[in-house]
Amino acid sequence: MSERATAAPFPATRWSVVLSARSSRAALEDLCQLYWRPLYAFARGSGFSAEDAEDRTQEFFARAIIGKDLFAAAEPFLGKLRTFLLTAFQHDLSDARRAAQRQKRGSGRITSLDAMLAERHIPPAVAANAEPLRLFEKEWAETVIRASLRGLAAEFEASGKAELFLLLRPFISAGADSSTSYDALSATTGLSKPAVRQAVHRLRERFRRAVRHHIADSLHDPTEAQIDDELLALQYALRE
């Protein structure tokens, strides 16, 4: 799947935006870009083959983009956007199992799903009989991280510092810290070692804010406590 760069930190997905943009194909396609991999992973973990999981995910989003009925009954009080999408997707998978034959839609593909890329992350977990929800949560967490990093990359590029971002990006993880690493980065960038440390610190702060902003944008009327809870869920999902 192509990763579209944008000057904004990440596509707007707040409930109010989603509910008001039901007729906007562009807004809904952005939603597909963000959530197809978690839902695909859930389908794989639920026993669907790679081909069937891709079909189910495609058809699910076709309801939103072409059929325009996915959000027909959606209400903000549902809270978490990912919870709403997963619940709706589970209903679709149940319908697919009950159907004697899977009905093929004639509308074609509604967005490009790079299932081969997603599949690289899934077979080991599937082989270990991982819970479908565990796969969904892990892919959701990785989606948040990818979207936040894309947003930061776009911001650096907009200010003419794309190369600096590529050099600093490995240091977003605290595990990259070492005197030798900072010396090498200082030599590469021409910045003093204190300046390098400060640049890394600022990047980490910007990354944390981007992640929090992304999470807040998928909650209805988010509070700081709710965002903190979602951050804990994200950290837990990334542990394994």
Q: Please report, for the chain, the start and end positions of each structural domain, with discontinuous segments joined by +.
A: 15-237
Q: Phi then psi for 80, rounded to 5 degrees?
A: -90, 125
pLDDT of residue 229: 93
Nearest one of 38, 88, 91, 40 to 64, comparing CA atoms: 88
Taking each helix axis from N to C end, the angle separating 25-45 and 50-62, rounded to the nearest 10 degrees, works out to 150
Whether 226 has a pLDDT exceeding 70, the answer reads: yes
Cα angle vertex 119, ends 44, 45, to 5°?
15
Least Cα distance to 237 among 152, 167, 136 occurs for 136
Between 25-29, 37-41, 191-195, the lowest mean confidence (pLDDT) is in: 25-29
pLDDT at 119 over 70: no
Instruction: Give the pLDDT score at 129.
Output: 54
Tens digits of residue pLDDT in 148-187:
999 999 999 999 999 999 999 999 987 767 777 888 889 9
Average pLDDT over every residue of 135-160: 93
- Cα 86 from Cα 97, distance rounded (Å): 16
Long-range CB pairs of 99-107, under 8 A, 24+ apart, other chains included: 102/52, 102/55, 105/59, 105/62, 105/66, 107/62, 107/66
Mean pLDDT, the chain, rounded, equals 78
Q: What are phi and psi of 16, to 5 degrees?
A: -60, -35
Q: How far is CA 30 from CA 11, 24, 40, 218, in A?
A: 6, 10, 16, 13
Report the percentage of the chain scoring pLDDT > 70.
69
